[in-house]
Amino acid sequence: METYATALLYATPFFIGLVLFEVLYGHFVKKQMHNVMDTVSSLSSGLTNVVKDSLGIGIIIVSYPFLLEHLALTEIKANWLVWVIAFLTLDFAGYWNHRLSHHINFFWNQHVIHHSSEEFNLACALRQSISNLLGYFSLLLIPAALLGVPHKVIAILAPIHLFAQFWYHTRHIGKLGWLEYVMITPSQHRVHHAINPEYVDKNLGQIFSFWDRIFGTFQEELDEVPPQYGVLKPASTWNPILINFQHLWRLMKDAWRTKSYWDKLRIWFMPTGWRPADVKSKYPIKVIEDVYNFEKYRPEVSNALKGYSIFQLVANISLMLFMFFNYSEIGFNGLLLFGAYIFIGIYGYTTLMDKAPYAVWIELFRSVAGLLLIYATGDWFGLDAYWSIGSYLVGLYFLVTIVGALYFTYVEKNYVAPDLAS
């Protein structure tokens, strides 16, 4: 985990830098693809994912080394061929994992966060799951295990394979000629994120596009069908933690409410979106029917709240980077506590972005608890060893959070956007 945290220490600024580049590019070419609150929500989702993964939270059903030990029929020598085979088997497993996520109710919950943005840009690529608490991906790597691909090769290639899926989340790049027949491109992935009937559940590949062509899930981007983004059951919140568990909560409620014991069981494994007939009629859920004429989630907020949301995002990124930098010195129990401060912080300020009245209490609880921790320990998880005034600045941050929460809850609660036409 420490090695992973170190990798994230360098990878996080790189990906955020690319998002900022896309924002600036969109500004200068007068074709902006970012909405402030949506982008803050996307980046905040990325923070929750990397913190959760760095702490190793989850249950692994079976590990790849275990499969390798018990299933290997041969052993591939460590040359260039093993890397090619490993990457192909990893991508093959990724395709089927992705396909399961789109077609099975229970598995959709771990993927819905990635599709929840009603925009399509590099930031939405960072909307990654924290609800994938049951690790089964290794089961899809049985072909690699049978071929005897060393687990160290898989361990090295897995993050590279994941990071290589970032670049094609953009609307600024058109079709790429012959590359469209080989690899996943921005055009193909725009189709994948679209909610148009022609595009739903298409282009499930991750690096190579030939899996979709082989297994019948390929769809070209059509000029006459401009992609519309989001999910058919809109998230209607900026809070990435809520989005992560919305679908699971719906499944739990439907399973509880249905009178059929058979439906209580099978709802988890039915196609995505399936609901018991008695529950569906009694408890309808809003679904987008006209993808070209639906109201995107855009609560009216002031420029001040937008600026405050960016400030909170930057502050929590800074806290997270310090956590990764000081990972081994903080210790496991300290890391869990540190991670909790980041999670509660993200929950608090994204709920404030939704203008939910209870957000203030989350912010107050976290800030007061943070100040008490600094007072009790005289430090912030060892920050003063690197910066003598570090804990004072973190304390100041918590004070600003208290003021911000109170201001945006009670002073700006009735904010109405100015009428630019008048």
Quick one: pLDDT band at residue 266, thresholds 50, 70, 90?
very high
Dihedral in degrees, nearest 10, Cα atoms 352, 354, 357, 360: -10
pLDDT at 306 over 90: yes
* pLDDT tens per residue across span 32-78: 999 999 999 999 999 999 999 888 876 776 788 888 887 877 777 66
Query: Could you give the CA distance from residue 320 to residue 9 in angstroms, rounded to a whole number?
Result: 9
Query: Could you give the CA distance from residue 273 to residue 4 in angstroms, rounded to a whole number?
Result: 35
Mean pLDDT computed over 220-226: 97
pLDDT for residue 422: 41
Quick one: pLDDT band at residue 418, thresholds 50, 70, 90?
low
* pLDDT tens per residue across span 89-123: 999 999 999 999 999 999 999 999 999 999 999 99
pLDDT for residue 415: 64
Domain ranges in the chain are: 58-119+130-215, 303-411
Quick one: pLDDT band at residue 254, thresholds 50, 70, 90?
very high
Mean pLDDT computed over 131-149: 86
The answer to whether residues 258 and 276 touch, using CB atoms and an 8 Å cutoff, is yes
* pLDDT tens per residue across span 193-216: 999 999 999 999 999 999 999 999
pLDDT for residue 416: 64
* pLDDT tens per residue across span 378-411: 999 999 999 999 999 999 999 999 999 999 999 9
pLDDT for residue 417: 62
DSSP letter, residue 79: S
Say which range, 360-369, 374-383, 407-416, has the weakest mean pLDDT.
407-416
**Residue closest to 315 by CA, chosen among 349, 272, 283:** 349
Quick one: pLDDT band at residue 139, thresholds 50, 70, 90?
confident
pLDDT for residue 152: 87
- In this structure, the strands spanning 59-60 and 134-135 are parallel
The answer to whether residues 282 and 308 touch, using CB atoms and an 8 Å cutoff, is no
